[in-house]
Amino acid sequence: MRTHIDTLAAVRNLGILAHVDAGKTTVTERILYATGTTHKRGEVHDGTTVTDFDPQERDRGITIFAAAVSCAWDGHRINLIDTPGHVDFADEVERSLRVLDGAVAVFDAVAGVEPQSESVWRQADRHGVPRIAFVNKLDRAGADLDRAVASIRDRLHPAPLVVQLPIGTEDGFTGVVDLVRMRSLVWGDDGTAVRGAVPEELREEAVRRRRALEEAVAERHPAALEEFCDRETLSAGTLTAALRDLTRTGDGVVVLCGSAYRNRGVEPLLDAVVAYLPSPLDVPAVRGTRDGAGQRRPADPHAPFAGLVFKVNASATGRLAYVRVYSGTIEKGDTVADPGGGRTERVARILRVMADRHVQLDRAVAGDIVALAGVKAARAGATLCDPGAPLLLEAPVTAEPVVSVAVEARRSTDTGRLATALARLAEEDPSLVVRTDTETGQTVLSGRGELHLEVAVEKIRRDGGPEVTVGRPRVAYRETVVGGVTGFAYRHVKQDGGAGQFAHVVLDVEPLGPGPGTVGFEFRSAVVGGRVPQEYVRAVEAGCRDALAEGPLGGHPVTGVRVTLTDGSTHVKDSSDTAFRTAGRLGLRAVLRACTTVLLEPVAEVTATVPEDAVGGVLGDLAARRGRVGGSENRGGAAVLTAIVPLAELFGYATRLRSRTQGRGTFTTRPAGYAPAPAPAPVR
């Protein structure tokens, strides 16, 4: 009988990460087909994929929502999450990475590392998620494994450890040489792999590359170095063990190659997932807080239950909370605590997720990724745990929205239905923010980009919601300080019968960073002699944070500011937390009016791939949009232009680019922070 340790060691929780159109979903489909989970290969262009099951995903041909699937390979259970590649849905990637133990990063063999590839790689770096790389589309014209690996090394800065050599190029790509075991795998037209000896014409090159792999591994792994020095070579077993260790520590990235569309290279990729990526036992025990103190929970089914909700699917037919179980066991009918929300929930059903299909389970144990039905209030990022052993896990970070649109129901009688639909959207996607404009009374929906908001509004319609009228997109401006003020004194005195209020603060305000695009807020106290007690200092900080909600220029949030409390005084009877919080809020508002402030607008890094004969027109258009061109390079017969462009100028850019390039140009964007906006601010 297998112990729970054996069971956990045979689990792999991984995500598929990539730039849009690098082939993530096709890789996922071929994995499901190779493992026997599906019996027909789904195609993105036909709208028949398992993980892109939402109608919008099939219509647009892109992944929008992270989808979880489960399959088995070589005695291991693989829980796999196919993540979006478009920058507007980066928060879906962030929430997924928070609960994964490993990842497969997919790269286009022609384009190499693309902008969103870089973004998701950095996200994985922040979460410490071990990765292996899969260079896809080797059958395309212009595909080059070495060039793709060079771009991984140069732009992402890992140590790429290439374990395969392609057999054939472009249309003639038929298989790979396994450099670890020094054998070939060749796929026929029916997708069947045939193992054999290394082709004679590739033997010398394979030996050279195997030697380079051994040297690279020996440089980074002590045990491998010892064997290499003794024998001047590495056995397949030592090399595999060293590659596993280097992958899990992040000191190296194993690189494989293939063509998922033509079903070539998928089985070795699955073998690499099992061999190199960690199980729940190989990653550190999850860390949370209990009663303010840090605590770790091991991946043990017998420990108290703790899990993190990373995704919520709230529909009219029911609500599912997707949970990574970090420790303990949860059974159908159990009551669990939500310590962040201060409530308990009852688990009605436990489901093994297969995209939009589910299999009912009696229980889930540490290491599982499952969906829970009956959990009515827990939001994405919430912790669920044993009520007798509460633990609060760190929630995934949600990025601030940068684009807003006003939305209203076409019929006044549908206002209530629209409010319900918007609340459901925000519940499913925390990066969507719904608020009411205090000046106009309009309902404003804010998100990460134009496509993000388009998808959200379309989802209301497709889910049976009311017809909606949508205003023109507007960007989220910020205000910041470029010239500070020191020694600004503010005295708050209120006496209108009964206990009064008294608070006196002296504030210094200065820019947080060297440039006006720096974001964030920092509060410091330099008060000496106890002139302002510590509990009142915290109240002043809270008041200052309140004041940052509206700046002096146009009521936009204030960022990039450092506030120092240098002095103050109290009254023996009338001073209180409330008085000092009010003094902090009103005092900072007053001092901001005395500072030199500027308006900031969000900017994006645009990467446009255009025909060489259209470069002049595209550059001129970028300049007209206040873009700052950063570089240009030739890649595969096309020009790749990069520029920093204000987000407000990018609305409708896709149509403009197509017209200037006769439909042959494409572009991608990613957030690049904030930059000073021209005065007066553009009206959008």
Can you give the pLDDT at residue 1? 37
Is residue 683's pLDDT more than 50? no
How many whole angstroms separate alpha carbon 228 and alpha carbon 231?
Answer: 5
Two structure tokens written together for 114: 């693309």
Is residue 100's pLDDT more than 80? yes
Can you give the pLDDT at residue 43? 66
Residue 410, Cβ density class (10 Å: 0-12 exposed, 13-18 middle, ≥19 buried): exposed
How many whole angstroms separate alpha carbon 228 and alpha carbon 232?
Answer: 5
Can you give the pLDDT at residue 568? 95
81 versus 292: the higher-pLDDT residue is 81
From the options 3.40.718.10, 3.30.230.10, 3.40.50.1860, 3.30.360.10, give the CATH code of 479-594. 3.30.230.10
Can you give the pLDDT at residue 585? 95
Residue 490: in which H helix or E strand, if any? Answer: strand 485-494
**Alpha carbons within 13 A on the beta-carbon side of 493:** 5
- With beta carbons less than 8 A apart as the criterion, state whether 71 and 35 touch: yes
Is residue 589's pLDDT more than 90? yes
- With beta carbons less than 8 A apart as the criterion, state whether 581 and 490 touch: no
| Architecture of the 286-393 domain | Beta Barrel (2.40)
Can you give the pLDDT at residue 359? 85
277 versus 681: the higher-pLDDT residue is 277
- One DSSP character per residue, 431-481 reads T-EEEE-TTT--EEEEESSHHHHHHHHHHHHHTT---EEE---EE--EEEE
- With beta carbons less than 8 A apart as the criterion, state whether 12 and 103 touch: no
Is residue 176's pLDDT more than 90? yes
pLDDT one-digit tens code per residue, 413-445: 888 889 888 988 888 888 898 988 776 678 889
Is residue 519's pLDDT more than 70? yes
Q: What is the mean pLDDT of the chain?
A: 88
Is residue 40's pLDDT more than 70? yes
37: nearest Cα among 60, 66, 71, 6: 71
pLDDT class of 682 with cuts at 50, 70, 90: very low
Is residue 671's pLDDT more than 90? no
Two structure tokens written together for 145: 């494994």
How many whole angstroms separate alpha carbon 53 and alpha carbon 43?
Answer: 12
pLDDT class of 498 with cuts at 50, 70, 90: low
Can you give the pLDDT at residue 6? 57
> Over pLDDT 90: what percentage of the chain?
50
Two structure tokens written together for 100: 């994964």
Q: 28-37, 108-117, 619-628, 662-671: lowest mean pLDDT where?
A: 662-671
pTM higher than 0.85: no
How many whole angstroms separate alpha carbon 487 and alpha carbon 288?
Answer: 41
Is residue 47's pLDDT more than 60? no
Domain boundaries, the chain: 4-276, 286-393, 403-474, 479-594, 599-676
Mean pLDDT of the region 136-156: 93
Mean pLDDT of the region 27-52: 75
Two structure tokens written together for 113: 């590392």
Can you give the pLDDT at residue 681? 45
pLDDT one-digit tens code per residue, 608-659: 888 888 888 999 999 999 999 988 888 766 888 999 999 989 888 887 888 8
Can you give the pLDDT at residue 317? 61
Can you give the pLDDT at residue 270? 96
Mean pLDDT of the region 331-352: 92
Can you give the pLDDT at residue 635? 72
CATH number of 4-276: 3.40.50.300
Q: DSSP secondary-structure letter at 89?
A: G
Residues 6+ apart with CB under 8 A from 652: none
Mean pLDDT of the region 18-31: 86
Domain 599-676 sits in CATH 3.30.70.240 = yes
Two structure tokens written together for 561: 């500011």
Residue 233: count of CB within 10 angstroms of its CB: 13
pLDDT class of 684 with cuts at 50, 70, 90: very low
CA angle 62, 161, 228 (to 5 degrees): 165
Can you give the pLDDT at residue 192? 84
Is residue 479's pLDDT more than 50? yes
pLDDT one-digit tens code per residue, 268-285: 999 999 999 999 999 989
Domains 403-474 and 599-676 share a fold: yes
Is residue 680's pLDDT more than 50? yes
Is residue 392's pLDDT more than 70? yes
Can you give the pLDDT at residue 48? 62
pLDDT class of 46 with cuts at 50, 70, 90: low
415: nearest Cα among 455, 451, 362, 467: 467
| Architecture of the 403-474 domain | 2-Layer Sandwich (3.30)
Can you give the pLDDT at residue 73? 93
- With beta carbons less than 8 A apart as the criterion, state whether 398 and 431 touch: yes
Is residue 142's pLDDT more than 50? yes
640 versus 581: the higher-pLDDT residue is 581
